[in-house]
Structure 1
Amino acid sequence: MRNITTLFLIILFSFSMFADVSHTEKDALLKLYHFTNGNQWKVKWDLTAPVSSWHGVKLQDDKVIAINLENNNLVGEIPEEILNLVSLQELDLHKNQLTGSIPSSIGKLKEMKVLNLSFNRLSGIIPSSVCEMTNLKNLELYMNAISGELPMQIGALNQLEILSLFNNEIVGQIPTSLYDMKTLKTLLLNSNKLSGTLSNEVVNMTSLENLSLFDNKMNGQVPLELEKLDKLKEMNISYNMFNGLISKNLAVLDTLNMTMINDKGVAVLLEVNNVKNTAIASED
């Protein structure tokens, strides 16, 4: 009986050693490797070895749940086959040389919690299907060449904590649904081409700690409701075309003390009236 038990354990151990992902998932990884010039990566995959040994790939129950290949010299495009990794919870391709666009159906990756494609050369729009990734906690697409408008239903990401899209070519207004994101802690939309106003509904974003709208084309009244965001520690909304009354508290909170651009293209400073808590714009 002891010999039989020992033999069973050996077989079980051997099976676990050689267990691997499905053909579909392995093919998706191979497509990623070949589409991004894998033979020139800093840390390459040994395609003859088990997937579990491949750099940056994390498995759970023989499913790929994470890919972390940041700063690994990936050159090329993200293949559509990446969408076959349906258990993927984290995709981090930060600081590579990826081109092309984000796969339009990326919302199929329902388990995704962290999507970081920042510091690449991606273009095109943010697909509306991103709004279907309701488990997302971290969405970082900054420092690319992404254009178009923010998806209208972005507020559906009701677990999102970090939205970092700075240094792109994003246009249009902030969707009203974004103000419903009560879990959002960091919102970085600076250095884009956003226009329109900042709604007073920003007061609903009760978890917000860091807000940056610096260097856009936004206008209208600076919402005094910003003062009601008790957790807000960092803010930079300067170098827009905002105007109107501000308080001393808001002026101090803003990194550049509310330096705006007027309709003549001149930098103006919203000065605070400490007595009446009102503001006037004066050219510097």
Structure 2
Amino acid sequence: MKVITTSFLVFFCSLFTFASVSSSERDALVQLYNATNGNQWTTKWDLSAPISSWYGITLQDDKVIAIHLSENNLDGFLPNEIQNLVYLQELDLHKNQLNGVIPTTIGRLQSLQKIDISFNQLSGAIPNSICCLTSLKAIELYSNAISGELPAALGNLTQLETLALYNNDIQGGLPNSIYKIRTLKNLLLSSNKLNGNLSSEIINFKSLENLSLFDNAMQGQVPAEIEQLVNLKEMNISYNNFSGTVSRNLAALDTLNMTMINNQGSVVLLDIFSEKSKTVVSED
């Protein structure tokens, strides 16, 4: 009788453990595990164990709020079922071997604040649905093979602080809506295939600290409004097709480490701290 009672209690407790996380969230995690060759992960999951024991998973009130699986040999793709992780706030999968496209269903993760899938082999365009994630503070998708144009509705992400998409194959110009993101601190888009101009609306980036656009095909005049960005500490717009001059006020910003070399290697503005003789400025 004691054996039967004990067995029943173990069975009951097991059911209770799995019931603590919703079946849809558990299924999403299992699908992620299977789609990324979980049996070959550096640190694997025991799918028969409680989810609270699974490596890289953070729970709060029995809800999955964070996934941290960087450098864990994930090899595969992101499944559509990821949409069921509706309470997820952080998704960190950087430095793995993920391929394929970012699923459009990611736009249903309304609680997401940070996504980092950098240093993988993602391809295709960034889905427009990402612009529905209005709680996002950081998008880090650098060092992939992402192509296409930037989503037109990026301006919906009014809490975004970091947009890091460098070392990809992104084309086209900066969408007009991007200048609505007044919270942006880091705009890192270097080594892509971007073209078009920098708008004078860049003056809206009052919080901007780092602007990196080097190694693209951007053109036109560097807007004078940049000198009004009082928080700007680093700017590199080298190896583009920018033309014209900048004001003495911009060149005199001693907190600015700025390089501006066109894609033929000709100096337009270079390291105003140590090579002032090469600095080209206007008389204004």
Q: What is the TM-score normalised by the length of structure 2? A: 0.87
SS in 2 for 1:105: helix
Matched, 1:258 2:260: yes
Cα deviation 1:196-243 (Å, max 9, x = unaligned)? 000010011100001000100000001111000000001101110001
Cα deviation 1:78-105 (Å, max 9, x = unaligned)? 1111111111111110110000000012
Cα deviation 1:20-55 (Å, max 9, x = unaligned)? 311111111011111101111111111111001101
Residue segments in structure 1 that go unaligned for 5+ positions in a row: 1-13, 278-284
Distance (whole Å) between structure 2 residues aligned to residue 198 and residue 126 of structure 1: 21
The CA RMSD measured in Å over matched residues stands at: 2.1
Cα deviation 1:128-183 (Å, max 9, x = unaligned)? 00000000001100000000000001010000011100000000010011011100
Please tell me whether the aligned partners of residues 163 and 187 of structure 2 are also in contact (alpha carbons under 8 angstroms): yes
Distance (whole Å) between structure 1 residues aligned to residue 244 and residue 114 of structure 2: 38
Q: 1:221 to 1:25 in 2, by over 3 A?
A: same
Please tell me whether the aligned partners of residues 87 and 111 of structure 1 are also in contact (alpha carbons under 8 angstroms): yes
Please tell me whether the aligned partners of residues 247 and 283 of structure 2 are also in contact (alpha carbons under 8 angstroms): no
Please tell me whether the aligned partners of residues 245 and 280 of structure 2 are also in contact (alpha carbons under 8 angstroms): no
SS in 2 for 1:66: strand
- Quote the residue 2:146 is aligned against: 146
- Quote the residue 1:269 is aligned against: 268
Return 190-199 or 60-69, whichever deviates more. 60-69
Residue segments in structure 2 that go unaligned for 5+ positions in a row: 1-12, 270-277
Please state how far the C-alpha of 1:257 moved relative to its aligned partner: 2.9
Task: Kindly provide the amino acid, as one letter, of the partner of residue 259 in structure 1.
Answer: I
Please state how far the C-alpha of 1:77 moved relative to its aligned partner: 0.4
- Quote the residue 2:95 is aligned against: 95
What are the residue-to-residue correspondences of 1:54-73 with 2, within 5 Å? 54-73=54-73
Distance (whole Å) between structure 2 residues aligned to residue 158 and residue 201 of structure 1: 16
- Quote the residue 2:184 is aligned against: 184
What are the residue-to-residue correspondences of 1:9-48 with 2, within 5 Å? 18=17, 20-48=20-48
SS in 1 for 2:125: coil
Q: What is the TM-score normalised by the length of structure 1? A: 0.87
Please tell me whether the aligned partners of residues 120 and 143 of structure 1 are also in contact (alpha carbons under 8 angstroms): yes
Please tell me whether the aligned partners of residues 248 and 272 of structure 1 are also in contact (alpha carbons under 8 angstroms): no
- Quote the residue 1:226 is aligned against: 226
Distance (whole Å) between structure 1 residues aligned to residue 15 and residue 197 of structure 2: 57
Distance (whole Å) between structure 1 residues aligned to residue 281 and residue 126 of structure 2: 43
Runs of 4+ in 1 over 6 A off after TM superposition: 14-17
The alignment covers a number of residue pairs equal to 262
Distance (whole Å) between structure 2 residues aligned to residue 231 and residue 51 of structure 1: 43
Distance (whole Å) between structure 1 residues aligned to residue 138 and residue 102 of structure 2: 16
